[in-house]
Chains A and B, each alone.
Chain A
Amino acid sequence: MEAIILQIMNGLDKGSAYALIALGLTLIFGTLGVVNFAHGALFMIGAFCAVTLNKILNLGYVTIDPTQTDFLGNPLKVKIPYVYNIFGENIGNIIIDWSVPLAILITIPIMVIIGVIMERGLIRHFYKRPHADQILVTFGLAIVLQEIIKYFYGANPIPTPAPEAFSGTFDFGKMIGLKAHSIIYPYWRMIYFIFAAVIITAIFVFLKFTTFGMVVRAGMVDRETVEILGINIDKRFTIMFGIAAAVAGLAGLMYAPIISPNYHMGMDFLVISFVVVVVGGMGSLPGAVLAGFLLGMLESFASMSVVLNILPGLNQIIVYLVAIIILLVRPRGLMGRKGVMED
């Protein structure tokens, strides 16, 4: 029992990331009909927003502290971040510690701007071109974005710590009334799951209960009629692209403490996210979320040692295997609609 709960929870954080990326992919696909291979790059850029903010906050100058000496007896050199000068030492420390959550504030506008520029500047010209061209140009863009990040940040993963308060683990088993120390779970993964749940809910609420969302949904179903009614659907779709980019960015940003960001993390996640989208059903938002969590959990179940003893290496291929089987048995995916991408 504990083992099963533990595996479900282990699947949650990866599943959340898959679900968030797949949600963004589906939003873009559903509104603009474009298959965005650069979505993983947006995820990565989000993570690097956290890295950047962390680096900026840690910027400082070196001074000599006359009250302390190092082991040779010379005056000790200490590095003082500029943040201390502005906010004082205590608040400064807290700000540096909380750099990852704080990065949310800068990430949202950055990602929305990047998304809108991407859509207006590049992808807009590809609506009338074949899907293969859309894949190719976004694939090229992904390479370019990835290489730019690699140029500035190097090829090595950059550790980005979570706030001190959430860096440890907690005893989840005890919390839900099971044996103590049976389920030990890291705080930050829990936070990530909650964060993902909040974002996913927010997107669904936004689409379901606002006029803007209603228009967007109408546009997804029948773009032409909405246009005839005199609504500028292009503008709204562009905004949706920005939102999807922001969702991917936030997913990456909050994932930074879990894996140290490196320049190819986007592609690693993107490939699986595509599989998630296909399993969930192209164009179906609930499908994408469901399939994201499902595949995340399947992956963690497949990496249990009990399973690995019987089928070694299953954890590496389970996602693809499931995807292939589902596509063969249920070609439209779990919740796919009829008539989407069926040419």
Chain B
Amino acid sequence: MFKLEKKDAILLLIVALMLIFAPFILNPFPENSGLAQFNAGYPDLMQRFVFFGIFAIGFNILFGLTGYLSFGHAIFLGVGSYAAIWVMKLLTMNILLAIIVAIIISGLAALVIGWISLRRSGIYFSIITLAFAMMSFALAYSVLTPITGGETGLQPKVTDPRILDSALLAGDTPKANLFGLDMTATYNWQVGDWVFTFNVGYYVAAILMFLCFYLSIRIFSSPFGMMLRAIKSNQQRMNYSGLNSKPYTLAAFVISGMYAGLAGGLMVAMDTQVGPERMFWTASGEVVVMTILGGAGTLVGPFLGAGLIKYMENIISKINVGVLHDWFYWLPDWLENFVVTIIYPFVGKGWNLTLGVIFMLVVIFIPGGLVEGIRRIINWFVKRKNISASREITDSDNMQQAGEIQQAGEEAASRGKNNG
């Protein structure tokens, strides 16, 4: 299917199904129940899953494949956003054009920044990109105020020219649309106690994300992707063998910049506003965290990481003291207070602390991220099954085979240990 290997095709199918049925999957708890706060099936959050999913998938093409750790990827998110908003202000509210322009402009920005920063590798590269991120933020915040709107940012206004659109009716506000399809249109479907929300904007974004994911699978399995991996494993050897690795890394940088630009353009297409904080270096840090948490260098990891972080950000920061007391009311009073006191710093406003702790634990113990964690758990089960199977086998031939499997399992386990 689509020129993919079977494994990748299945993965693509799973992602497609998850994207299509997200309004159901993310809304497992009935409305009005105590658990309804864990629902994530509202358009705003689902859209954010997709934006940051695209952003992280793109970042992964650079970091996961080449190992170049960029601390400035939010620049392209911001550039894409600003480009899109200007298209919406000057040309048309049709998001298609805005998104295309966002991708092109951020690709150009990535070309320039990448060309400069890729002259160095390793830690120098990280610091140059960090410097670019700080510089872009400072520029957007103050110097370029005529273009970026400074601290307040930009929004489409009724008075903007929009030369490609027909004039707005009196009292109408400009709405982001795709050939007349309003991005904010939603349809609520009530089934018993459950309410499922279907949002046009989300599905538009989800289709784009699906395409992005497909493209990233193709890049991963292409000769180009192989070359990038070779650069990651030993750039020196590549250079000695007479290969100029710069065009490859630059291409990866530009591609991931374009992904970020797409994510930025989509953000603008859905919420029609942009501010400089989108380019702040912590935003770049966030995408690094997402990618690592999910699993850098894996296909589905960055998407998982982005979803997990955005979900936790939303859910955990909603929890307050009252909710905690509700949860632990069944404990004796003193123990309840104690538990609540312990947990309280990690929820609500303290959600960043939780994030930091989880991030550190992942980096320390499972550098491959969640995907590696899941794989290790599966390996562990498989290995146990093999051991119990080998006891029953008496045939010497089979014995040998089982021994090999067991050995392989042990090797995998010890490799896991070494990594941790």
Contacts and interface: CB of A to CB of B under 8 A. Distances in A.
Given A147-B353, A147-B356, A148-B353, A312 B122 contact: no
A324 B132 contact: yes
Interface stretch (A208-216, A284-292, A313-321): A313-321
Contacts of A141: 356, 360
Interface string B346-368: 00001011011101100110010
Contact of A151 (B130, B131, B289, B353): B353
A151 B350 contact: yes
Nearest to B355: A143
Contacts of A168: none
Interface residues of B, number: 42
Interface in A139-162: 139-141, 143-144, 146-148, 150-151
B17 to A, nearest CB: 32
B128 A125 contact: no
A221 to B, nearest CB: 20
Interface stretch (B135-143, B197-205, B304-312, B402-410): B135-143
A323 interface: yes
Contacts of B282: 267
Interface stretch (A130-138, A178-186, A244-252): A130-138
B124 A278 contact: yes
A129 B236 CA distance: 18
A312 B356 CA distance: 37
A343 interface: yes
A320 B117 CA distance: 12
The residue among B138, B139, B236, B363 with the most chain A CB atoms within 10 A of its own CB is B363
Given A136-B288, A140-B363, A147-B356, A317 B127 contact: no
A328 to B, nearest CB: 6
- B interface secondary structure, majority: helix
Contact of A132 (B67, B127, B134, B142): B67
A274 interface: yes
A320 to B, nearest CB: 4
A32 interface: no
B384 to A, nearest CB: 28
Contacts of B357: 140, 144
B120 interface: yes
B350 A341 contact: no
A199 interface: no
B170 to A, nearest CB: 39
Interface in A266-319: 267, 271, 274-275, 277-278, 282, 312-313, 316-317, 319
Nearest to B420: A125
A155 to B, nearest CB: 8
Contacts of A321: 135
A320 B135 contact: yes
B345 interface: yes
Contacts of B367: 129, 133
Contacts of B292: 136
A274 B350 CA distance: 27
A132 B66 CA distance: 12
Contact of A143 (B69, B122, B235, B352): B352
Contact of B122 (A275, A277, A319, A341): A341
A135 B119 contact: no
Contacts of B236: 343
Nearest to A277: B127
Contact of B142 (A35, A129, A278, A316): A316
B126 interface: yes
A323 B131 contact: yes
A320 B131 contact: yes
Contacts of B289: 140
Interface string A118-130: 0000100100011
A239 interface: no
Contacts of A313: 138-139, 142-143
A327 interface: yes
Given A278-B127, A313-B142, A328-B119, A143 B67 contact: no
Contact of A316 (B124, B131, B138, B359): B138
B127 A274 contact: yes
A331 interface: yes
A97 to B, nearest CB: 33
A323 B72 CA distance: 15
Contacts of B359: 136, 139-140, 143
A282 B125 CA distance: 13
B207 interface: no
B345 A151 contact: yes
Interface in B80-134: 116, 119-124, 126-128, 130-132, 134
A144 B356 contact: yes
A148 to B, nearest CB: 7
A312 B143 contact: yes
B236 to A, nearest CB: 7
B357 to A, nearest CB: 6
Given A143-B352, A143-B356, A137 B138 contact: no
A151 B132 CA distance: 31
Interface string A224-235: 000000000000
Nearest to B235: A343
Given A275-B131, A312-B143, A135 B138 contact: no
A274 B127 CA distance: 7
Given A143-B356, A328-B116, A131 B122 contact: yes
23 contacts: A122-B364, A131-B123, A132-B126, A133-B363, A136-B363, A139-B359, A140-B289, A140-B360, A143-B352, A143-B353, A144-B353, A147-B353, A150-B350, A271-B130, A275-B127, A275-B130, A277-B127, A278-B127, A312-B142, A320-B134, A323-B128, A327-B128, A328-B119
Given A140-B363, A316-B142, A324-B132, 16 more contacts: A125-B364, A137-B360, A140-B356, A140-B357, A140-B360, A147-B352, A148-B353, A267-B282, A271-B134, A277-B127, A278-B128, A313-B143, A320-B134, A324-B131, A327-B128, A331-B119
Closest 8 CB pairs of A and B: A313-B143, A143-B356, A316-B138, A147-B353, A140-B360, A144-B356, A320-B135, A320-B131
